Structure 1
């Protein structure tokens, strides 16, 4: 409901002719990606919790996990791009990012970048349906991880190792950029606070708006890093355990849905949508 409410608000602002902020582009895609994760993970898990068995066939399992992984990847990329963009936005004009900062004012460069993320993950995630099958499949594999409604078949081959390495490299790269951007924003905001009494009154509102936006993104990225780190740790434990542990499966499911569920409320707690109505074109 949080993601749906936030998405409806952005759609209303867009079609009402109100000026979009640069960060809204990333936030809209982030909300859509988070919604896909919740729907593709939450609905099957809820049905399984109520005792439904074999409600997904082989095609259904492949589709559910494919959508889930695409949503997860785009959610990570959107959060990464959002944090890096904001860090560059509030950086000093005399810094090495000055030229890039001027180019980023043109919103036409931003939409293609996030669309490219969708295309890349739609292509990179094509291996997931190959590994996923329904629980009625009796084929023998080197290792099988059973979820409550589907199964993950692991094969010992070079292609699988390469796919895992690419996924891990992507995740580490995104997390590195997010941590760097967060650290940069904290440092810039700290310097800004020390020099705030030197800022002229006409620039105060601008600085204040950038500060609020930075604080919102800091909270958002911090939540993402927390939930992702915890989820990755449990997933590592899950793959190392030979016997499927039901409590571990449930814990991973709950934590995986943590960021998509919490993020809209983080955004709304730092947002004043009624103030946006004064920004009409």
Structure 2
């Protein structure tokens, strides 16, 4: 009865994961060609990394990539679990960090020349590579705790493991170490979410002021959204959606860790939330980027001419 009830949800997850991978792959190739080509936007390099991270999150989180790879190489289950959990936690941390960086960069970009943030415009571009290296190093290093406290599932009753998936479980952890890891994780996430909300509020104020000034000069019918305004609206939408999805995911994870129990329904809902942001992000970016829209229209027109 329980498995029959979960089957439709699993089909939804597979569809969501497939859509997320395809959309992110399309976006990744677009950003790579744009960066290697001419005149990429300053945010393209950030978005390219975010897209790559989201592809990895969907593939690893759904056991789409690693399960078949490990089975074909006959690698033991314990190594598979440690690798999967480590990579997924690293990618999850990178997702929140890079989303925050994207929000900060856009806030600096749209800030007036008279503001305090204006002096950071050139510095942020200059030290962007250093920022990326710090973000990647911190998340890859911090997630190493998953290597020690995750293993192949054996017997819950005998070893006091908490089963997370069919073949993987969390191992018992010292209360002090667990508290320390939890404190660092929540401090990092609360800080980054706070920065995202602050920069989003700042961008909304800038957009509101700009729109009010434009109404005094032009009629509403003459107003057109600038590329900066469209980019800002897109990032605002992504940040708001990310914050909502993150806290739902956090509440489920926190409840499961505190109760030392992972319910299958909770796990499915959590996976749905984890897939939601990586899946919706590329769809929002594709639909709001004029370069992609123009490219798709050109492809469509060429395709229709070839059949005419």
Q: TM-score range by the shorter chain?
A: 0.7 to 0.9
| 1:190 and 2:213 aligned | no
For CA contacts below 8 A with separation 6 or more, give which structure has more relative contact order: 1
Moved segments of 4+, more than 3 Å: 44-47, 137-143, 197-200, 204-207, 240-244, 274-277
Equivalenced residue count is: 266
Q: Equivalent of 2:115, from 83, 95, 115?
A: 95
Q: CA RMSD in A?
A: 2.9
**3-state SS, counterpart of residue 151 of structure 2:** strand
Which protein is richer in helix relative to its size? 2
TM-score (norm 2): 0.78
Structure 2: which 5+ residue stretches go unaligned? 1-21, 68-74, 296-308
1:6 alignment partner in structure 2: 27
Q: CA contact under 8 A between 1:45 and 1:148: conserved in structure 2?
A: no
**3-state SS, counterpart of residue 19 of structure 1:** coil
The range that moved more, 136-145 or 171-180, is 136-145
Is the alpha carbon distance of 1:214 and 1:232 closer, same or farther for their aligned partners in structure 2, counting shifts above 3 Å?
same
| 1:263 and 2:281 aligned | yes
Instruction: Measure the CA separation in 2 of the matches of 1:25 and 1:206.
Output: 27
Is the alpha carbon distance of 1:199 and 1:64 closer, same or farther for their aligned partners in structure 2, counting shifts above 3 Å?
farther
Instruction: Measure the CA separation in 2 of the matches of 1:255 and 1:267.
Output: 19
**3-state SS, counterpart of residue 94 of structure 1:** coil
TM-score (norm 1): 0.85
Q: Equivalent of 2:198, from 180, 203, 207?
A: 180
Instruction: Measure the CA separation in 2 of the matches of 1:99 and 1:252.
Output: 41
Listed as ranges, the matches of 1:194-205 within 5 Å are 194-197=212-215
Is the alpha carbon distance of 1:86 and 1:240 closer, same or farther for their aligned partners in structure 2, counting shifts above 3 Å?
same
Structure 1: which 5+ residue stretches go unaligned? 48-54
Instruction: Measure the CA separation in 2 of the matches of 1:100 and 1:211.
Output: 20
Instruction: Measure the CA separation in 2 of the matches of 1:144 and 1:74.
Output: 26
